[in-house]
Amino acid sequence: MGNQQRLLGKNENQDPISATQGFLFDVDGTLVLGDSDSNGYRMLPGADSVIAELRRRALPFACLTNGSGDTPREYADKLRAAGLDVTEKEMWTPASIAARYLKARGASRVLVLGMPGVWMPLKEAGIEVLLPDDPPAEVDSVLVGWHPEVRFRHIELACEAVWRGAKLYVTSGAILFATHRGRGIGVSGALVAMISKVTGKRAAIMGKPAQLAMRTVVASMGLTPGNVIVVGDDPNLEIAMARVAGSHAVAVLTGLADRSSLDALPPERRPHLILGNVGELLTSGLFPASRA
């Protein structure tokens, strides 16, 4: 199996090939590596061939990033610029998941700590957005996302809103993510840690590893978690999300994870398969028969 390694887990007796109807991919560290400022991407080995094979076999797939610096449209544009055939409809962010979730829960006005990639999906969903530098107003929710230009007053405003009863949400609680320069710091995770520490309120996570994110993206493909193979580089995010959901989890070694850290996980948290890179999916035996 070359660089591939099968690991035992609670789903090992299932046949992932016969059950597979689609794929869910992490982005940073799996398909591409970007810079820590989210300005552009460099494709990882074999990613374009994997996407092309999915197209040829007419298998649905989706990409789920924990980044919220860009809108799904902008992320898809950057992936295409890097050589990957990904459309806006196949691209999901925690902000686009939050927009759907908050709309369904009747949120009327949301204080957003974040760049346009965080608040634009909410506006497009018809939710009123309040930014930290806008005139003050009452809000029913606070959403924390990619906000590298944060000021202390912004954190104060978020805390004050939560103290007045606003529900607290965050795009991602992850502290680190993979870039071509190594580990990048997750801004949203750092900010919400401060807000939660001050207010005593835990934030509901809209991105990975939340099952809300898993259910939303899988449902967009018309599938169920048991029919999806999840591919990612982070054992605490997409791999953990997949294992809880009952999906087949595949880890790649092009991002945050290394083989020793994956081997050290308890059996129920290990990926079912480790690959050197996403391109090795093509020889992994995980692709079902072609639909074309």
Question: Do 99 and 110 contact (CB within 8 A), yes or no?
Answer: no
pLDDT at 228: 96
d(CA 70, CA 95): 9
d(CA 137, CA 45): 49
Total length of the chain? 292
pLDDT at 148: 87
pLDDT at 13: 46
Please report, for the chain, the start and end positions of each structural domain, with discontinuous segments joined by +: 5-66+208-283, 95-205
pLDDT at 285: 87
d(CA 45, CA 34): 14
d(CA 224, CA 220): 10
Question: Do 39 and 50 contact (CB within 8 A), yes or no?
Answer: no
pLDDT at 40: 79
Indicate if the alpha-carbon torsion angle 273, 274, 277, 280 is positive or negative: negative
Tokens at residue 238, please? 């997409």
d(CA 289, CA 65): 28
Strand partners, 91: 63
The CATH number that domain 5-66+208-283 falls under is: 3.40.50.1000
| Tens-binned pLDDT, residue by residue, of the chain (292 aa) | 445 554 433 344 455 555 689 999 999 999 999 865 556 799 999 999 999 999 999 999 999 999 898 999 999 999 999 999 999 999 999 999 999 999 999 999 999 999 999 999 999 999 999 999 999 999 999 999 999 889 999 999 999 999 999 999 999 976 655 555 656 666 888 899 999 999 999 999 999 999 999 999 999 999 999 999 999 999 999 999 999 999 999 999 999 889 999 999 999 999 999 999 999 999 998 887 665 5
Tokens at residue 59, please? 């298998």
- CATH homologous superfamily of 95-205 equals HAD superfamily/HAD-like (3.40.50.1000)
pLDDT at 183: 62
End-to-end CA distance of the chain: 27
pLDDT at 6: 46
pLDDT at 12: 47
pLDDT at 22: 95
